[in-house]
Each structure stands twice: as structure tokens, then as C-alpha cells.
Amino acid sequence: MNIRIGFWLLCLMSLVACKGKTSGVQDTLFSGVIRVAVDETLSPLAEESINVFEAQYNLAGVIPLYMSEVEAINLLLRDSVRWVLATRPLTENELESFHSRKFFPESVKVATDGIALIVNRQNADSIFNVSTLRKVFSGKITRWDELTPASRAGEIQVVFDHPNSSTVRYVIDSICGQENLSDRCHAAGTNRKVIDYVAHTPGALGVIGVNWISDERDSLCRDFLREVQVARVSRADRPTYGNSYQPYQYYLYTGQYPLRRDIYILLNDPRSVLPSGLTSFFAGSRGQRIILKAGLLPATMPVNIVNVRDQI
């Protein structure tokens, strides 16, 4: 990835140096060089999709910047990037800011994923309901033996990727009902660091994006799944194995897995060049197949699941 970014940065600098000379790559829907901002929780999906896009359109260069969702959208608002991959659409206030400057951005839904909860392999507690999670995240429940009296895992150590991440926003908005998170929750920095922390900490409860563990074709995903357990989540008051679900593609589709969220491309491209071409790729048949094969739920392509296993 670093080699590719370096290559396209050199191309970008050469284009600037050319200042309109015919030797530069023309900006079109499928050629040119752009920077895009990506919510770090979505980086596995973005990386694979951008690789395929660049292979298909060899005059196109996409430089992804991975960061928190707040930072990514702020870059779009400041007109520092024209394309963002995020887990929410633009708000009314954000749209008004763009409209006041005569910009008319779009929020294009391309997929549905979810929030995955992971625990250490030694932890017997791997089934939760939404009500219990609310108490854990708000600090009303602080020890594993409050959930299972025989548990020896000690204090519950909740770990997120970043304080401004989309996972934190989702937990506050959709699980805690705008209630503040407990000061016992802490950030590891990235989703990869969350997985590493949970793998080495018996009392940890990690909160990550589903696409970090959903692609069974990816060797890194398979390694992650050997290091941690993926928890099951239920809407029932008394969660059991039979009424709780892991974030499989099928359970995202049926809505039985409760911690779902949508993925959007936030596009501000008044010239309709490469950012628009990249959006059409993600929303088109090839981009939607990548999303499907990555274990997420594409926005437009039907899902046909014939077998569901006990572990994600």
C-alpha cells in the first residue's frame, strides 16, 4: 500500500508541475489522481475496492487516507477531499454549509455492515443483549461476574479504535441513547490494535467494524478470527444461543443481528471527474460484488446465503 501511495503522490506532483501540459494525465471519470478519506473501520473494504478499480482503470490513481470518521468528514467540509467513505450520510447542517458555497454533494448508500463485539478466547461470556450492552458501555456494569457469577475475567475493559470513530458514535447514538460512555472505555488507536488488545487481555471487550473479520478469503481476517471470539448479540431480554446472532451477512440482511449500520460515499464533485467515477464503481455491479464477497451486505445486489456456520 505504501509503495502505491508513493507512486501516485509522485504522479500528483508531476501533474501539478506540468500545469496543463499535454503530457499530464487528463482528469476524467476514470483517469487522473485523487486523494480520498476513509473511515478507518472501513479500510479493508476500501483497500480491496480501490485495488480492483485501479487495476481496471490503469490511468486512475486513488490515494486513500485512513482516519476517524470525524476527521474524514471534516476534510470534505474543508474541500480538502472530494470523496469520503463513511457510515452516515451528510447532515442537514453539513448540507447547508455546502449549499452556501454553491456545492451540492451527494450521500450514496453502497452497503450495510455492522458493529462487531469481540472477546478474548479464554472468556466464556460471548452472548449479550442490547440492554446489557447499554449498561456495560455506560459503566453501570463493570465486571464480568455481574454477567456470569462464575466468571474470573475480572473487570470489563471496553476498547474502541478511536474517540472520534464511527463505532463510538454508533454506540452512543444507537445503543446508549445519547448517554455518555463510561470513562472506563478507552481507545487503542486502530481496529487492528483493538483486535491485538483483546487477543492478549482476558477481560477485554472490543468494538470494531464487521469488515475487519467478515472476509473469509482474506488471510489476515482468518488470523484475527483465530485470536479472538466474535460475540453473539440478541434483542431478547434473556439472551440464549438460539435467539442471539453473530454479524453474518445473512443476519445483517434479515435484521436479526441488531447492531447494523449503513455505509455511504459522501461525494462533492462538481466537475464530475474521478471521484464520481469511483462512486459509480462502488455502486455498480463490480463494486457491489466486491462488497458481497467481503461478507457485507451490498446496497443493490441480492444476497443468496445457503449455509450459515456457528462461527463467523
Q: What is the pLDDT of residues 159-198, one digit of tens each?
A: 999 999 999 999 999 999 988 899 989 999 999 999 999 9
Read off the amino acid at residue 1: M
Cell numbers linked to 9: 503522490
Tell me the percentage of the chain whose pLDDT exceeds 70. Answer: 89
Question: Using CA atoms, how far apart are residues 110 and 219, in angstroms rounded to an integer?
Answer: 25
Tell me the percentage of the chain whose pLDDT exceeds 90. Answer: 78
Q: How confident is the model at residue 259 (pLDDT cuts 50, 70, 90)?
A: very high
pTM metric for this prediction = 0.87
- In order of 1, 211, 226, 231, the CA distances from 215 in angstroms are 19, 7, 14, 17
The answer to whether the CB of 165 falls within 8 A of the CB of 137 is no
Question: Using CA atoms, how far apart are residues 112 and 289, in angstroms rounded to an integer?
Answer: 13
The class level of CATH for 2-112+261-298 reads: alpha beta
Question: Using CA atoms, how far apart are residues 83 and 266, in angstroms rounded to an integer?
Answer: 6
Question: Using CA atoms, how far apart are residues 117 and 233, in angstroms rounded to an integer?
Answer: 8
Predicted confidence at residue 170, as pLDDT, reads: 96
Q: So what's the architecture of 114-260 in CATH?
A: 3-Layer(aba) Sandwich (3.40)
pLDDT tens digits, residue range 207-233? Answer: 999 999 988 788 878 888 899 999 999
Strands (E), 83-239: 83-86, 106-120, 127-129, 157-160, 186-187, 204-209, 228-230, 232-234
Domain ranges in the chain with CATH number 3.40.190.10: 2-112+261-298, 114-260
pLDDT tens digits, residue range 129-158? Answer: 999 999 999 999 999 999 999 898 899 999
pLDDT score of 8 more than 80: no
Q: What is the mean pLDDT of residues 295-302?
A: 87
